[in-house]
């Protein structure tokens, strides 16, 4: 029996889009990758360059340049193209520009007949994810933002250094906005299954220099530290997008912190924020509603309120079929 080929389109052939493609090629995540860019020659050049990796990988991924009109039959469209903040700006400062870019991308893709799953990492990612949901009219499970997946990874990396364990032995989440109002749900962070708060209580001398607020701050600021030193962050987020895409294409039912449209979860509606979700072939299979403590609940609500305030005034008319 002939197996259905897994096809992915990546919109944006810059550092994030190309890093995502490179990660997917090396992990053999899909059979075909179509690179799309505002400048076709750039997409073609990236596709050619990436195709020269194939001889050094275990499987063959077909990679080529395409256009929005070619998206009708792809399984996943990944949007990395967006507006980059300038020095001194934050992710929200590029919102108006991001809204226009998002519409220019999403409208022709939907008009092509695309009926798959959108995954986006364009900033401000929570609001861009919400925009895509509103513009397309797709059910909420088929629109996923990278959200706090990368922040959660940064948190695990920081804690792995402190406790001298593999980051994959750390469990926990950064939640809320992928931005300044994100927070760490410390009540749900574990090291090898043991709550971090219990570890600190049992070993006060050993970990007396560990400041959880400082770890949370470093988690939040990690992207800016990289950005200010080299002008972009792309390897980590590219791998995060590839990770989410693999969970979709392989129906892994993996739990990942992503930007998701909330409809009653955590007491929130009509807003998109970073929460843990089960990711499978249909996109978001289910949102996990953690039992946050009083302080964490306030931080989550404050983060959602900030996202809403920044969305105020956006015109999000659905695409006419």
Q: Is 308 labeled as ligand-binding?
A: no
Q: Specify the length of the chain in residues.
A: 321
User: Is residue 166 helix, strand or coil?
Assistant: coil
Q: Other C-beta atoms within 10 Å of 295: how many? A: 12
Q: Is 122 annotated as a binding residue?
A: yes
Residue 91 marked as a ligand binder: yes
3-state secondary structure of 311: helix
17 belongs to an annotated ligand binding site: yes
3-state secondary structure of 77: strand
- Quick one: which H or E segment has residue 174? strand 174-175
Q: Is 121 annotated as a binding residue?
A: yes
By three-state DSSP, how is residue 254 classified? strand
Tokens 């843990």 belong to residue: 276
Instruction: Choose among 242, 56, 230, 65: nearest CA to 150.
Output: 242
Would you call 89 exposed, middle or buried from its count of C-beta atoms within 10 A (0-12, 13-18, 19+)? exposed
Backbone angles phi, psi at 179, to 5 degrees: 175, -155
**Ligand-binding site membership of 291 (annotated):** no
**130 marked among binding-site residues:** no
181 is in an annotated binding site: no
**Is 166 labelled a binding residue?**
no
Q: Are 124 and 95 in contact (CB under 8 A)?
A: yes
- Residues annotated as catalytic are 178
C-alpha 53/C-alpha 213 separation (Å) is 42
72 is in an annotated binding site: no
123 is an annotated ligand-binding site residue: yes
Q: Which residues are annotated as a binding site?
A: 12-17, 37, 42, 68, 82-83, 91, 121-126, 146, 151-154, 233
Annotated binding site for NAD(+): 12-17, 37, 42, 68, 82-83, 121-123, 146
Q: Which residues are annotated as a binding site for substrate?
A: 91, 123-126, 151-154, 233
């Amino acid at each position: 029996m002939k197996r259905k080929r897994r096809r992915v389109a990546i919109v944006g052939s810059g550092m994030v889009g190309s890093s995502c493609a490179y990660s997917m090629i090396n992990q053999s995540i899909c059979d075909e990758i179509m690179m799309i860019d505002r400048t076709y020659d750039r997409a073609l050049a990236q596709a050619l360059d990436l195709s020269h990796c194939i001889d050094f990988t275990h499987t063959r991924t077909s990679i080529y340049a395409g256009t929005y009109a070619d998206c009708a039959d792809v399984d996943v469209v990944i949007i990395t193209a967006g507006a980059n903040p300038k020095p001194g700006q934050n992710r929200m400062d590029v919102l108006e520009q991001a809204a226009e870019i998002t519409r220019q991308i999403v409208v022709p893709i939907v008009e092509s007949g695309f009926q798959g799953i959108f995954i986006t990492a364009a900033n401000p990612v929570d609001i861009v994810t919400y925009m895509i949901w509103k513009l397309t009219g797709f059910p909420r499970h088929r629109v996923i933002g990278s959200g706090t997946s990368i922040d959660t990874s940064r948190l695990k990396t920081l804690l792995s250094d402190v406790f001298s364990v593999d980051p994959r032995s750390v469990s926990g989440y950064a939640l809320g906005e992928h931005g300044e109002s994100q927070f760490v749900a410390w009540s749900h962070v574990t090291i090898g299954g043991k709550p971090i708060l219990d570890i600190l209580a049992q070993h006060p001398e050993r970990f007396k220099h560990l400041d959880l607020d400082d770890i949370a701050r470093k988690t939040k600021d990690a992207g800016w530290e990289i950005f200010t030193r080299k002008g972009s962050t792309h390897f980590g987020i590219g791998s995060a997008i590839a990770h989410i895409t693999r969970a979709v294409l392989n129906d892994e039912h993996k739990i990942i912190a992503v930007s998701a449209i909330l409809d009653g979860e955590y007491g929130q509606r009509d807003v998109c924020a970073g929460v843990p979700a089960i990711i499978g072939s249909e996109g978001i299979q289910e949102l996990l509603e953690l039992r946050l403590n009083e302080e964490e609940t306030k931080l989550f609500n404050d983060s959602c309120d900030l996202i809403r305030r920044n969305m105020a005034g956006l015109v999000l008319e659905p695409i006419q079929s």
